[in-house]
Amino acid sequence: MPKRIIISLIYLITFTFASVAQSSSKVFQKANTQFETLGYAKAIELYEIALRKPKGATDEEILKAKLNLALSYKLVKDYQNAERVYRETLSANPVLKGEDIKAYRHFAQVLTSNSKFLEANQNWQKFNELQEQDKRGIEFIKLNSNREALERNVGSYKIEYVGINSSSADFSPVYYKKGLVFVSGRTENSQIRRVFNWDASSFLDLFYLEDLKALGTESGASAIGSSSQMVTQKNAQPSKKLGTDYYTPPTANDAKTVGRKGTEYITGSKYLDYEEEPSIQTEKFSKNLNSKYHEGPCAFFHDGMKIVFTRNTLIGSGGVLGPKKNGAISRLKLYTADYENNDWRKIKEIPFNSNDYSCAHPTLTIDDKTMYFVSDMPGGYGGTDIWMTRYENDEWSKPQNLGGSINTRGNEMFPFVDERGNLYFSSDGHPGLGDLDIFFVPMSTAAGMPSGKVRNLGAPLNSSRDDFGIITDSERRTGFISSNRKRGGIDDDIYKFTRLGTLYGCREVVVNIFDNDTKKPFDKIRFEYEIKDNVTTRESAITNDIGTIKLCLEADNDFIFLIKQNGYQAESISFSNKDASDYEVSKLDIYLKKEIIIERSKLDKKVEKVDSVSETLVSRRNDNISSSIFRGVVTAGKDSTPIAGVRVRFINQCTGIAQEMTTGADGSYEFKRELNCDYVLESFKENFGKSSETIPKIEEKRSIITSIFKKKKPVVPATGSFFDTKLYKVGDIVKLDNIYYDSDSYKIRSDAARELEKLVRTMQRNPNMIIEIRSHTDTRGNALDNLMLSQRRVNEVVDYLADKGIARARMRGVGKGESEPVNSCGDGVQCTEAEHQRNRRTEFKIISIERK
């Protein structure tokens, strides 16, 4: 059902209590009556008039009137006037007690919507200090201090305005057959205009778009801000910018203004009208379902033969279209209907409806056995909560609250469950970008309850306005949302979205690497990291000169960090950001232990205890037997799987000195060796048999030959950072992995300079080799600027090599800009900083090689 009605139910309870102290002065009585009966637009007008000359009113009455006026402006989404009244009232430092303390929270929310985040935090802090129960301000303060965390994924989604929208409210679509059923306040030429007391807006009905293919046309779905939004202007003042004037009636769902006549007290409401006509034909969904009441969000059983929908009723004297007397209250109830004889029939209430609370906003799991809905029934956490009920043998079970991980002291509403059982909902109680934000939480399909952490979807699916009513697939590839972002709070519209980038975006972590003994940070240490069990995602990074680096890792994943440093034991560290905050930076501290050196005299006394043997360790060595670095991988003998946690010992038979380390997740080890000495390689792990083998020395004669051979033909190290020209043909392109640049910089970093020294030596050893140096940027920023930046970078490399004595005639420099990324980080795609850095690289193309 419309969110305005849902919220009105809450305020009906809350603010009747807040206004118990009725004014004894007649000048305020009418204003208070309008406020208590949710007629906020009329209340604004009366309060403004009354406060000009508050004759006979007490200070307490005047304060109460000002707080009610400010809240009324907030509820009709006029945040400018709401800020004005709150600032004027609270700057006088009144003593607020009881329910009035909420004014600081309301002011903080208004300031957030007006993008005044620092001042918003100050009022959240006041709210936190004056009451003990509601601590949501703590999380809002954290988010307001790092809002970029929810905005960095903005390029991952394309948002399109669809042609079914009108100048009235249009929201909460659901899939039905080949089309969409949605809620709208359009009157369809009705001679009787039924209005909602909150803001004099039209009542709502269900409408139907028969075929989704209609939205695929240019006029059906257009990018936000395009000229195809079919907006026409009637007698409008040209100086007024679209979106700032009053041009459409408010609705029961959301409004900044009241009625066609407007009011001079609400910002923008006194200007001339705008009209917006749909560019795609829709029709009323059902004569039997649509009535003189509100019909709101609905859900269909997956065979399309049963519907659950929301309708409002009036409890007490008076009628929906007539005056409310003696405390008549509008409630929302859930109904079902069956499709028979070409229409919806057998309309009946769901048994747990009540005249004491409301139930609304249904959504069904794919098996039609679980329904989530919204209610303010007793047993909740505050405002409206999301509840769950089971449907078995044509009966609905007793509703169960989804608990405190989802429900807050604010309002949770508009739930939607995808085909995998994941739950989406909107909330103003969880920290967000403003007003209602859309959130996501994984669910246990068996229990129907949350199984993970609630996540804010972030921009652009969320904005500083109301965002709600999402429907999508399990991978969030495409779908629809409802939002009033276009006109800044006047109307709700339906938008189509398409995901272009990663599903989850990324979350920040600061990595610090220290010496375990001294606790001092390392100076620019290189390490690798990858998503667990996915070696194709491996990336490398280098800490700064104080041993730290900030990474943005793909959200909701487990990672492995691999660190190998000469003289230290290799480390494999697990890290998960599945439970990490969306807007707080995580921290990962890594301490490296020095290699263990054991003298032979002590080694002989050391006895290794081996428990019952289940498998045998196998050491797989590298093939480069002439290298002074001895590398390998320890695996299990049965299936050759790399083994972590194996102690590997490398014993020099000349000196009796042993090196020792423990393998990481990849099972690898690495030791320094003297070529003219024999070594013993031993491996130990509990429940494995001990592995031992002799590594023979390299004969002196062979060492000399190898040394000479290396001068003629350099060996290609495994890292690929140095290459042998005899292994490549003319035209080959070789990338030096360590030639990276800082963002927006063309200066050569110290780690890149060390790598370029190897190229200098190669060019010196091959005086007839001619190369083309190519420099690339990442895809962020302006393409022309990136092209110029890449040319400056390549010029810097050429200058560096020339300073080292390499003739400029042997080098050609070409800047490639952002035209050739090595990964999927194109325009509009959310990537980690490490992924962007891979694109900021330099490559060498061999133009000519003349051998003598």
H, E, C per residue of 661-719: EECCCCCEEEEECCCCCCEEEEEECCCEECEEEEECCCCHHHHHHHHHHHHHCCCCCCC
What integer pLDDT is reported at residue 535 of this predicted model?
86
264 or 612: whose pLDDT is higher? 264
Q: How confident is the model at residue 12 (pLDDT cuts 50, 70, 90)?
A: very low
What integer pLDDT is reported at residue 606 of this predicted model?
52
Pair (99, 213) in one structural domain: no
What integer pLDDT is reported at residue 541 of this predicted model?
93
Query: Exposed (0-12), middle (13-18) or buried (19+): which is 851, by Cβ within 10 Å?
Result: exposed
Of 115-124, 138-147, 707-716, 761-770, minimum mean pLDDT range = 707-716
Domain endpoint, select from 575, 592, 609: 592
Of 126-135, 218-227, 274-283, 590-599, minimum mean pLDDT range = 218-227
- Interacting residues of 337 by C-beta distance below 8 A, sequence separation 6+: 288, 289, 306, 307, 309, 344, 345, 346, 347, 348
What gap in Å lies between CA 105 and CA 141, rounded to an integer?
12
What integer pLDDT is reported at residue 309 of this predicted model?
95
726: pLDDT strictly greater than 80 = no
In a domain, 323, yes or no: no
What integer pLDDT is reported at residue 837 of this predicted model?
79
Of 40-49, 73-82, 735-744, 794-803, minimum mean pLDDT range = 735-744
What is the tens place of the pLDDT at every residue in 64-121? 999 999 999 888 878 889 999 999 999 988 989 889 999 999 999 889 888 888 899 9
What gap in Å lies between CA 678 and CA 652, rounded to an integer?
6
What gap in Å lies between CA 267 and CA 246, rounded to an integer?
8
In a domain, 324, yes or no: no
Average pLDDT for 750-779: 79
Average pLDDT for 529-536: 90
What gap in Å lies between CA 572 and CA 672, rounded to an integer?
20
Domain endpoint, select from 559, 575, 592: 592
What integer pLDDT is reported at residue 412 of this predicted model?
94
Average pLDDT for 270-288: 73
Is residue 369 left, alpha or beta, with left meaning phi > 0 and alpha meaning psi from -120 to 50? alpha
268 or 494: whose pLDDT is higher? 494
What integer pLDDT is reported at residue 452 of this predicted model?
86
Q: How confident is the model at residue 414 (pLDDT cuts 50, 70, 90)?
A: very high
Total count of residues recorded for the chain: 852
Q: How confident is the model at residue 569 (pLDDT cuts 50, 70, 90)?
A: confident
What is the tens place of the pLDDT at every residue in 133-177? 787 888 888 888 878 878 888 888 999 999 999 888 899 999 999
Residue labelled with tokens 């609270």: 90
Average pLDDT for 250-274: 41
Pair (238, 258) in one structural domain: yes
250: pLDDT strictly greater than 50 = no
Average pLDDT for 202-208: 83
Residue labelled with tokens 């620092």: 118
Of 282-291, 294-303, 424-433, 499-508, minimum mean pLDDT range = 499-508
Pair (350, 233) in one structural domain: yes
Pair (475, 544) in one structural domain: no
Average pLDDT for 9-34: 56
The DSSP line for 318-358 is E-SSS-EEEEEEEEEEEEEEEEETTEEEEEEE-TT--SSS-
What integer pLDDT is reported at residue 729 of this predicted model?
54
Any idea what the CATH number is for the domain that residue 690 is in? Answer: 2.60.40.10
Pair (567, 617) in one structural domain: no
Residue labelled with tokens 């917006």: 276
In a domain, 55, yes or no: yes
What integer pLDDT is reported at residue 401 of this predicted model?
96
How much is the mean pLDDT over the chain?
77
Pair (678, 791) in one structural domain: no
User: Strands 274-276 and 324-340: what pairing?
Assistant: unpaired
What gap in Å lies between CA 462 and CA 482, rounded to an integer?
10
13: pLDDT strictly greater than 70 = no
Domain housing 383:
156-318+329-499
- The answer to whether the CB of 562 falls within 8 A of the CB of 665 is yes
What is the tens place of the pLDDT at every residue in 482-495? 998 876 555 789 99
210: pLDDT strictly greater than 60 = yes
What gap in Å lies between CA 128 and CA 489, rounded to an integer?
28
204 or 56: whose pLDDT is higher? 204
| CA-CA-CA-CA dihedral for 549, 553, 557, 559, to nearest 10 | -40
Pair (144, 161) in one structural domain: no
What is the tens place of the pLDDT at every residue in 829-844? 777 777 787 888 888 8
Q: Tokens at residue 168, please? A: 């009235």
247 or 120: whose pLDDT is higher? 120
**From residue 572, how far is each of 260, 349, 641 by CA, in Å?**
67, 59, 16
Instruction: Please tell me the number of Cα atoms within 13 Å of 412 on its side-chain side.
Output: 33
646: pLDDT strictly greater than 70 = yes
- The answer to whether the CB of 214 falls within 8 A of the CB of 494 is no
851: pLDDT strictly greater than 90 = no
What integer pLDDT is reported at residue 243 of this predicted model?
32
Q: How confident is the model at residue 254 (pLDDT cuts 50, 70, 90)?
A: very low
User: ∠ at Cα 281 (277, 286), nearest 5°?
Assistant: 115
What integer pLDDT is reported at residue 229 of this predicted model?
32
Q: What crossing angle do the helices spanning 40-52 and 59-75 adopt, rounded to 10°?
A: 140
373 or 736: whose pLDDT is higher? 373
Domain endpoint, select from 499, 526, 557: 499
What gap in Å lies between CA 514 and CA 683, rounded to an integer?
27
Average pLDDT for 31-39: 83
In a domain, 544, yes or no: yes
What integer pLDDT is reported at residue 591 of this predicted model?
94
What gap in Å lies between CA 432 and CA 113, rounded to an integer?
10
What integer pLDDT is reported at residue 244 of this predicted model?
31
In a domain, 707, yes or no: no
Task: Pick the closest to residue 201 from 156, 277, 260 (CA basis).
Answer: 260
What gap in Å lies between CA 809 and CA 147, rounded to an integer?
51
In a domain, 35, yes or no: yes
Of 257-271, 354-368, 656-670, minimum mean pLDDT range = 257-271
247 or 95: whose pLDDT is higher? 95
Backbone angles phi, psi at 597, to 5 degrees: -105, 120
In a domain, 19, yes or no: yes
> 58 forms bridges with which residues in the sheet?
none
What integer pLDDT is reported at residue 115 of this predicted model?
82
Q: How confident is the model at residue 625 (pLDDT cuts 50, 70, 90)?
A: low
Query: Exposed (0-12), middle (13-18) or buried (19+): which is 2, by Cβ within 10 Å?
Result: buried
Pair (147, 161) in one structural domain: no
What integer pLDDT is reported at residue 237 of this predicted model?
36
How large a percentage of the chain has pLDDT more than 70?
A: 74
What gap in Å lies between CA 288 and CA 345, rounded to an integer?
7
Distance of CA 448 to the CA centre of its chain: 24
Any idea what the CATH number is for the domain that residue 721 is in? Answer: 3.30.1330.60
Q: ω before 431 within 30° of 0 (cis)?
A: no
Any idea what the CATH number is for the domain that residue 137 is in? Answer: 1.25.40.10
Termini Cα distance of the chain: 84
What integer pLDDT is reported at residue 796 of this predicted model?
85
Of 208-212, 377-381, 695-699, minimum mean pLDDT range = 695-699
What integer pLDDT is reported at residue 740 of this predicted model?
60
Beta strands across the sheet bearing 534-542: 534-542, 526-531, 558-563, 571-576
**Structural domains of the chain, count:** 5
In a domain, 273, yes or no: yes
Pair (656, 748) in one structural domain: no
What gap in Å lies between CA 801 and CA 546, rounded to an integer?
29
Backbone angles phi, psi at 715, to 5 degrees: -85, 145
Task: Pick the closest to residue 272 from 223, 238, 237 (CA basis).
Answer: 237
Tell me which amino acid residue 850 is: E
User: Strands 412-417 and 423-427: what pairing?
Assistant: antiparallel
Distance of CA 5 to the CA centre of its chain: 29
Pair (488, 341) in one structural domain: yes
What integer pLDDT is reported at residue 490 of this predicted model?
54
Collapsed DSSP state (helix, strand, coil) of residue 136: helix
Pair (245, 359) in one structural domain: yes
271 or 620: whose pLDDT is higher? 620
What gap in Å lies between CA 199 and CA 258, rounded to an integer?
5
Pair (393, 482) in one structural domain: yes
What gap in Å lies between CA 521 and CA 475, rounded to an integer?
41
What integer pLDDT is reported at residue 821 of this predicted model?
87
515: pLDDT strictly greater than 90 = yes
Average pLDDT for 171-188: 89
What integer pLDDT is reported at residue 772 of this predicted model?
87
What is the tens place of the pLDDT at every residue in 321-350? 333 444 445 689 999 999 998 899 999 999
Any idea what the CATH number is for the domain that residue 187 is in? Answer: 2.120.10.30
What integer pLDDT is reported at residue 264 of this predicted model?
61
What integer pLDDT is reported at residue 637 of this predicted model?
56
Of 201-205, 339-343, 484-488, 653-657, minimum mean pLDDT range = 201-205
What integer pLDDT is reported at residue 699 of this predicted model?
63
552: pLDDT strictly greater than 70 = yes
Radius of gyration of the chain (CA): 34
